[in-house]
Every structure is written in structure tokens, then in C-alpha cells.
Amino acid sequence: MLVYLLTAGCAVAVVFIASRLIKRSRHATEDSAADGPTNGHAGSMLSALFLLAFAIAIVVPWTAADAARLNTYAESQAIVEAYWAAGRLPAPAGPRAQAELADYTRFVHDREWPRMRRQGRLDDEGWTRLDRLRREVIAVQAKDDDPKDARTAVLDHLSEISGARHQRAMDAKSTPPPALLFITVLTGLVVIALPFLSGARPRGMAMVPLVLMAALLGLGVWLCFDIAHVFSGALAVDPDAFGSTLAELRRIAAEG
């Protein structure tokens, strides 16, 4: 933050130095009009700065939400593949592993997802469930090639689930840089107040487009905060992938 303040201070100092030097020039002219070149240049640059910050504040969470949504489908698909592979394990390890995979999916869908929305982090119980299942699969005694291959396949898919879960934990914590949101709010306020700061006094119908612009700009800035978190707000990633996985696991179990 200190570097940002020093940078802004240096820019302000450049403006004052330049104004002093130009003031001594014989060719310089006074510019105090509300629609003069100074206000026109400053207004266009401030608008451009706001649009740049606003675009970044929208694009970054949007991209993060898309990536998080794809990751949830990768995690849920790994659960399905692990469920199929666990069916090849000898009893009682195979049915038990399948039951625990179904319980894990139900836990994520019903209990962990609301916590991610409220607190922005995963539940430690999810890690405990995966670690317990991994240890149980490792402990399976397999003498033939088919059970050994099944155990290896289940462990591989559990690694995929764990990796996708780690990514989901990072997605739950990710937000745009606070400085970006601050710049978006600050430049938005300056853009709204710029006509008054430049000395203009809008009256009558001239206030209509100004009020409309301020209202839409305020909605846009609020949207930047609303979509800042991947698992909450307008772009929230829903647990649809895990709901579909639960239905898929029930179908597989029904077919035997």
C-alpha cells in the first residue's frame, strides 16, 4: 500500500511542477471552463481508468468461477471412476470403499458446500474421510493380479480426488486483489462527481443522464463485490456436479 501511495504522490507532484512551468510560458492560456481541455482530458482518462479496473474486476472472478466449475466436474468424475474400480476389490473392502465414496459425495453436497459459501473454506472432515479411505484401500490384501490392479486404480483415482479437492480449497479462498476493488470504487466515485468538481452545475433535464449513469455505475461496482467469491454471489458455483454423481452412484449400485 505504501508503494501505491508514493506512486500517486509522485504523479501529483509532476502535475504541480508541470503547471508551474507552463504558467511561466508566454503561450499558455488560462483554462477554467467546465468544458475546457483540462476537464475534458481528465474526464476521459478517469473514465478509461474506471473501465479498465471495472473490466478486470469482472473478468478475473468470471474466469475463476469457470475454472472452479470445471474442477468440480473433474472431482466428481474421479469419484465415479473410483467407485467403479472399488467394485473390483475383494469383499468386504470393495463394498465398504464404495459406500464411503458415496458418503463422501453426499457430505460434500449437503454439508461442505454451504460452509464454503458462508466461510470460504473447506471442512476438515472431508480430508479425514479421504485419508481414512486411502489407508483402508492400501491395507487391502491382494494376491492376484486383478485385485492388485483394482487397488492401484482406486488409489490413483483417490489421488485425483484429493488433487481436485486441493484446487477447490484454493478456489474457495481466491478473491480479486483488494487494491483492485478499491481503485474501482474510487474511480467510480470520481467519475460520478467529476461534473461538479469541474465547476459544472447541472440543472433540470441535465440531471437525468447523470443520475442514470450514477445508478448503473453503482450497480456495476456492487456486482464486482458480489462475484468476488467463487462459491457465493451471482456467479456462485453450485454443487450440481456432486448431485449428478450421487445419482450416477445410485444407478451403478442398482445395476449391480
> Which candidate, 252, 251, 246, 236, places its Cα nearest to that of 66?
236
Task: Quote the pTM value.
Answer: 0.79
Over 90: is that where the pLDDT of 42 sits? Answer: no
Over 50: is that where the pLDDT of 15 sits? Answer: no
Over 80: is that where the pLDDT of 104 sits? Answer: yes
Contact 126, 112 (CB under 8 A): yes
Instruction: Quote the CA–CA distance of 236 and 12 in Å, as a whole number.
Output: 40
For the chain, domain boundaries: 39-255
Over 70: is that where the pLDDT of 5 sits? Answer: no
Phi then psi dihedrals of residue 41, to 5 deg = -65, -45
- Mind listing the pLDDT tens digit for each residue in 133-142? 999 999 888 7
Instruction: Quote the CA–CA distance of 126 and 101 in Å, as a whole number.
Output: 11
Q: For position 39, what pLDDT does the model report?
A: 62
Q: Could you check whether the bond before residue 177 is cis, i.e. omega within 30 degrees of 0?
A: no
DSSP structure class, residue 233: S
Instruction: Quote the CA–CA distance of 35 and 125 in Å, as a whole number.
Output: 63
Over 90: is that where the pLDDT of 203 sits? Answer: no
Instruction: Quote the CA–CA distance of 138 and 152 in Å, as a whole number.
Output: 9
Instruction: Quote the CA–CA distance of 107 and 93 in Å, as a whole number.
Output: 21
Alpha helices in 35-123 (DSSP H): 37-86, 93-107, 113-119
Over 70: is that where the pLDDT of 27 sits? Answer: no
